[in-house]
Copies of this chain bind each other. A is one copy, B any other.
Amino acid sequence: MNLRIPGPTPCPPEVLAATAREMVDHRGPEFGSALKRVSSGLKEAFRTANDVLILTASGTGGLETAVVNTLSPGDEVLAVSIGNFGDRFASIAKTYGADVTKLAFPAGQAADLAAIDEALGKNSRVKAVLVTHNETSTGVTNPLQQIAEIVRRHDALILVDAVSSMSSIPCDVDAWDLDVVVSGSQKGWMVPPGLAFVSFSPRAWQANESARMPRFYLDARKAKESLEKNQTPWTPAVSLVFGMEVALDMLEAEGWANVYARHQRCADLARQGAQRLGLKLLADPAFASNTVTAVWSPEGVNVSELRKILREQYDTVVGGGQGDLTGKIFRIGHLGLVHEADVQAAIDALAQALPKAGYAPVAAARG
């Protein structure tokens, strides 16, 4: 199967084999050594000296961890949203009693820097800014470094959803001075879903001391204290940590710069391939994501039908649209274990499936 959704991504056989290792004592030396290795690999990948916590949870659990460990009910929060996952981050903060102002931008657009600056300038009480680095629902990558500079100038915390960017798209936690940054194992890390990774800056830990939102399972301080002993506070997803150990070996052997370049090439190929078929892309080209490409469904094509043809006749799985974009777009994932040939195969399949779904591509897929 050519699994071209924006996560879970295909995993290397070596990683899958590692996830099938026999169980060990999660408080014993074998697991301690695996956790230590993953922890140090994560620090390198996040480009940070901060603690990177390893939690047994989906990315959404990681986002909740960011919010509940740094904020108190009533705190003012600016939630920058460019899509479904930005909305979700805002909902989490609201659920836990934050006073959330949402700054939303149209689907396909990145966040506007001046608008963020203005919103923060108008309200000096904003304690934290929530921002999505890479919006998986629209295939847009926000200019995170510039956003962080603005947030820093206004002296607020910046909590970042980097679930679908970290490990595939450069994200320099320390250089960009990001306070809390969240990722998840099923994205560029090439590991099955079930682990969330969350980095906390010293500023975030300071905020933690007075943060009164309730938390227990997702208590970052407990996770930090356990991690110092190469443990986790609760029984962790042992097999996924074993998978991460091998995946990090592979990614580091390739070299992070090469990993990013490979994602760039795959993304270019996806965008060019779709456009050569006469399809229109959702994302503003200046901010198009290197991990997922959202494509407008052509007039007269039923997205569910197109996805079904791709799956059943071409063994190719692409994502659908989410929220308001359901039925209007489909999404091609190109992150994790992905090479140009995988993307080209998906484009080739699309070229053949589209006529069956009622649309005639304007040109041959290979141009």
Contacts and interface: CB of A to CB of B under 8 A. Distances in A.
A217 B11 contact: no
A90 to B, nearest CB: 11
Nearest to A219: B95
B317 A28 contact: yes
Contact of A17 (B20, B218, B235, B311): B20
Contacts of A91: 216
Contacts of A61: 56-57, 217, 234
A238 B193 contact: yes
Interface in A8-28: 8-11, 16-17, 19-28
Nearest to A62: B217
Nearest to A239: B192
Contact of A238 (B8, B60, B64, B238): B8
Nearest to A31: B8
Nearest to A58: B234
Contacts of A95: 214-216
A273 interface: no
Contacts of A41: none
A234 B60 contact: yes
Contacts of A25: 3, 5, 8, 317, 319
Contact of A193 (B214, B235, B319): B235
Among A10, A64, A214: residue with most chain B CB under 10 A: A214
Given A28-B311, A58-B217, A235-B59, A16 B8 contact: no
A236 interface: yes
Contact of A64 (B9, B92, B217, B319): B217
Contacts of A215: 95
A235 B57 contact: no
A167 interface: no
A217 B60 contact: yes
A104 to B, nearest CB: 19
A240 interface: yes
A8 B58 contact: no
A96 interface: yes
A95 B219 CA distance: 11
A297 interface: no
Contacts of A320: 27
Contacts of A170: none
Contacts of A317: 24-25, 28
Contacts of A57: 56-57, 61, 217
A215 B218 CA distance: 11
A184 B3 CA distance: 29
Interface string A204-238: 00000000011111100000000000000111111
A25 B57 CA distance: 18
Contacts of A59: 234-235
Contacts of A96: 214, 216
Interface in A52-80: 56-61, 64
Given A60-B217, A217-B64, A234-B60, A8 B28 contact: no
6 closest pairs, A vs B, by CB? A194-B237, A20-B20, A58-B234, A60-B234, A192-B239, A16-B20
Given A56-B56, A58-B217, A194-B239, 13 more contacts: A3-B24, A7-B235, A10-B23, A16-B22, A23-B192, A24-B317, A26-B193, A56-B58, A58-B234, A58-B235, A193-B238, A217-B218, A237-B237
28 contacts: A3-B25, A8-B23, A8-B26, A9-B23, A11-B22, A16-B22, A17-B20, A19-B20, A20-B20, A23-B192, A27-B320, A57-B217, A58-B217, A58-B235, A60-B234, A60-B235, A91-B216, A184-B235, A186-B238, A192-B239, A193-B238, A194-B194, A194-B236, A194-B237, A194-B240, A213-B214, A217-B218, A239-B239
